[in-house]
Structure 1
Amino acid sequence: MMFKTFLLLLPVALAARPFSADGSEDSSLKAKFDSWASEHSKQYMDSNALGASEEYSIRFGIFSDNMKFIERLVSMGANQTWTMSSTGPFMDLTNEEFKTGFLGFKKTENSNELKQAGFKYANTQAADSVDWRTKGAVTDVKNQAQCGSCWSFSTTGSIEGANFLATGKLVSLSEQQLVSCDTKADQGCQGGLMDNAFQYVITNGGITTESNYPYKSGGGNSGTCDTSKASDHAVTISGFEDVPQNDESALRQAISGQPVSVAVDATTWQFYGGGVFNGVFGYCGTSLDHGVLAVGYDQTASTPFYVVKNSWGGSWGEKGYIRLPTDKGKEGMCGIANTASYPTK
């Protein structure tokens, strides 16, 4: 019942709201919006007849509604173990715009054909806690921007971790190569699947570095493959394995061994600001739409949690990370245990 209330409260796309001639818009709220826009380097152009940017008016209207939306949910106790933030990067977006522009996990028809036999961590005794960031296996948080390329960031993150464990070197790898060149099975800014991307890297003979083939698709254009850069095989993998489905014990066994690519339902993550995310009114869906990287967990905490690296930049969440509670239903919180995999090297 409470989640139905949340759905009814979700902000929707608004028509433009130009400023009134007498300047009666809430000046305090406008000041907050201007400060937020400056912090996130937002620029709204195309002036309307009143001298204000039409896009500015639209975004200010959405920002205002989102502020009210957050205040209402907080007053109702929708976020028991986490902070709902009004300063994150998606305050000027409707929830539909957020879902359309910043997610992108997509299973394909050949998904089942990709599954490989074996789970090398089957006999691993999972540690009570692990954090691969402290061990040097995780690169800085990156930003996919307005492109449904999350799957490529999840893929590079897990390959970066596997390569570190095999060589002792942390090498930042190219998401752009995957977005532009892995086109037979994946769809660039329109979505993809981490297992497909692992297979592409194997077939291609490797993947190049971030510095050699930097990310340019933040505006939503997948781009054309630069074959000369894609042929620079800086890092290779030998295969990949899927974690047993809907088994959080197995997921922690895998994370004990290396960072793991996972798919989640991130529809309700738009205003996450910190804490252990237990959903809105305790609910997070399991319709997988976003690829991320599980880099650790802590079973000894008062509220045990996974540590998940996202690809929405450092201004979102806990400096680009989110914590999800462990052992929450068959598929895990937000479906984290449903579709997890890792490369082998």
Structure 2
Amino acid sequence: MKSSLFLTVLAVAAAVNYDEVLRSPRLSVKEFHSFAVQQDRHYTTTESALRYKIFRRSMEFVNSENKQDLGWESELNFFADLTTEERGQWLGLNVSLAPTSAPASSLALSEDPLPDTVNWIAGGRVTPVKNQGSCGSCWSFGATVALEGVYAAVGGKLKNFAEQELLDCVYEKRSGCRGGWHTTCYDYSRRNNRLAITANYPYTATDSDRGACDLSSVPDGLQSAKVTGYTGVDQGENFHLQALAITPTAVAFEVTNSLHMYRSGVMKDRTCRGSVNHAVAAVGYSPTYIVVKNSWGAAWGDSGFVKMARNHHNCKLHDYVAYPTLQATSDSDTDPESVQCDYDPEANPGPTPGPDPKPDPDCRDEFEGWCRPEPAWCDKPVYFEKLCRKTCGNCVEDPTKKPDVCPSGTVRCPDGICKHEHMC
């Protein structure tokens, strides 16, 4: 083992362009050597050069994030030397597979006050963090978290349900690792009146291509409660919090570079501009954040979790919320109960949040009357950040941006241009 690790380091070192290294911090090279060993990654001489450059960009990104007092801390984790395509394999939400029919029921907004804090982890309705690996199966993991939470309440036992059955059987004519949609899992369990537990159907991070999906030898885990459908939740944080006060929820949002490198703290990502691409689950909230359980293992983030800021869109976290509906049966559950998750959101508060953006009184659209407040426009950075700022609701000043100071010997004239004072 030691010799193979040594060869890995030698291969990495041999491929590095040392002309480039001499123009950059030496520390990054040393950290890359250690990183390759720690991650047990064995690259060819040619590949290690590419990995080193990706690692360097990741290091620069993390250092930049941590200097801005954003309210969360970033770190170099196992994503640090992966390409964009490889990182995408850890997602898997496919919007094209979203159902076109309405859910079995919809949550009505109540006028009753909500609890200040909800914690389904402490309530014993959340299993430990799982790891989907480089298989686009996030949709099955987000769905099972919510199912496990509802089953614990209706069926009376916390159980670890099998993502692999969903991966193999929900989409029989396509690979589950190519993505899916979280609510289709509940439709599958309702139609087939079943879902195994992980102990009887272990996760392999691959679609085993079972053909007709023969489950005759795999016992059903939905013993004391059956899935009857799912409840859809209208868009918006108020609706989402009301659902979270009832149960853990299956949700979707857009993953950005900031989320990939998240370590701790309360995240308020302002860099998302596209469509949702990842399914996760929300398992509680506090007055300042929402607790989200991810499926990238406990080594990622805050022990596998991320805390997302309240009163923020969180990259569409509140747009695709649902949870399954179950009905109790007269059968007793003979399966063993799952171990409960022991994560404490308050144990690692992270850095102190930085300032929020302030309103920009001079905000305007570059072309008045031309912009339209719709995703086709505002999801594009050039419109959101410049051409259509007012229409797209981006009339804020960046608190991390350095003050616009005129060069030495000049002043800002009434026309807003820096000139020598006698030229104003």
TM-score by length of 1: 0.81
Is 2:185 aligned against 1:201?
no
What SS does the aligned partner of 1:276 have? strand
Residue 240 to residue 60, structure 1, CA distance change in 2 (3 Å): same
Alignment counterpart, residue 41 of structure 2, candidates 35, 39, 43: 43
Q: Distance in 2 between matches of 1:109 and 1:275?
A: 33
- Do the aligned partners of residues 253 and 182 (structure 1) sit closer, same or farther apart at CA in structure 2, a change above 3 Å counting? same
Query: What is residue 271 of structure 1 aligned with on the other side?
Result: 261
CA change 1:286–1:249 in 2 (3 A) is farther
Instruction: State the alpha-carbon separation in 1 of the partners of residues 116 and 301 from structure 2.
Output: 24
Residue of structure 2 aligned with 1:83, choices 38, 57, 73? 73
2:308 to 305, 324, 333: 324
Q: How does 1:139-288 map to 2 (within 5 A)?
A: 139-183=127-171, 187-217=175-205, 221-225=206-210, 227-228=214-215, 231-235=218-222, 236-244=226-234, 246-268=235-257, 269-279=259-269, 282-285=270-273, 287-288=275-276
Note the C-alpha offset of 1:96: 4.3
Q: Say which is worse superposed, 151-160 or 184-193, in terms of deviation.
A: 184-193
| Matched residue SS, 2:245 | helix
| Equivalent residue number for residue 86 of structure 2 | 97
Contact map agreement 1:265 1:335 (CA 8 A) in 2? yes
* SS at structure 2 position matched to 1:238: strand
For the pair 1:334 / 2:334, whether they are aligned, the reply is no
Distance 2:280 2:251 in 1: 6
Secondary structure in 1 matching 2:263? strand
Distance 2:220 2:282 in 1: 25
**Matches of 1:278 and 1:192 in 2, distance apart?**
26
Q: Is 221-230 or 202-211 further displaced after alignment?
A: 221-230
Q: Deviations over 1:164-202 (max 9, x none)?
A: 111331111111111111115975111111111110111
Map 1:296-311; keep pairs closer than 5 Å.
296-299=284-287, 304-311=288-295
Shift of 1:114: 4.4
**Contact 2:175–2:209 (CA under 8 A) maintained in structure 1:** no
Q: Which amino acid aligns with 1:84?
A: S
- Counterpart amino acid of 2:265? G
Indicate the residue corresponding to 2:380 in structure 1.
none
Distance 1:101 1:109, change over 3 A: closer
CA distance in 2, matches of 1:95, 1:157: 27
Give CA deviations for 1:86-141 in whole Å, capped at 9, x if unaligned: 2x22011134431x211111123662214233327746642111111111111111
Deviation at 1:231, TM superposition (A): 4.9
Taking the TM superposition and a 5 Å limit, the aligned residue runs for 1:117-156 are 117-119=105-107, 122=110, 125-156=113-144
1:64, CA displacement in angstroms? 1.8
1:19 paired to 2:16: yes
Find the counterpart in structure 2 of residue 7 from structure 1. Answer: none
Question: RCO higher in 1 or 2 (8 Å CA, sep ≥ 6)?
Answer: 1
**1:177–1:230: 8 Å Cα contact kept in structure 2?**
no
Q: Is the 8 A contact 1:156 1:173 kept in 2?
A: yes
Q: In 2, distance between residues paired with 1:142 and 1:271?
A: 18
Please state how far the C-alpha of 1:21 moved relative to its aligned partner: 8.5
Q: Name the CA distance, whole Å, in 1 between partners of 2:95 and 2:89.
A: 17
Give RMSD over aligned pairs: 2.6
Report 1:102-117 matches (<5 A).
Answer: 102-108=90-96, 111-117=99-105
- The corresponding residue for 2:384 is none
1:32: Cα distance to partner?
1.5
> Is the aligned partner of 1:57 residue 2:55?
no
- Superposed displacement of residue 204, structure 1: 1.4
Letter of the 1:97 counterpart: E
Distance across 2 between alignment mates of 1:271 and 1:214: 28
Q: 1:186 & 1:118 partners in 2: Cα distance? A: 30
Residues 214-236 of structure 1 deviation map (CA, whole Å, 9 limit, x = unaligned): 1112xxx4222352368522123
The answer to whether the 8 A contact 1:296-1:307 is kept is yes
Could you say which residue in structure 2 is the equivalent of 1:33?
A: 32
What is the aligned partner in structure 1 of residue 352 from structure 2?
none
Distance in 1 (alpha carbons) for counterparts of 2:148 and 2:217: 17
Q: TM-score, normalization: structure 2?
A: 0.66
SS of structure 1 residue aligned to 2:251: strand
Q: Structure 2: how far apart are the matches of 1:185 and 1:161?
A: 30
Q: Which has the larger radius of gyration?
A: 2
Once the two structures are TM-superposed, the CA of residue 27 in structure 1 deviates from its matched residue by 5.8
1: CA distance between counterparts of 2:173 and 2:244? 26
Long gaps (5+) in structure 1 = 1-15, 47-52
Matched residue count: 306
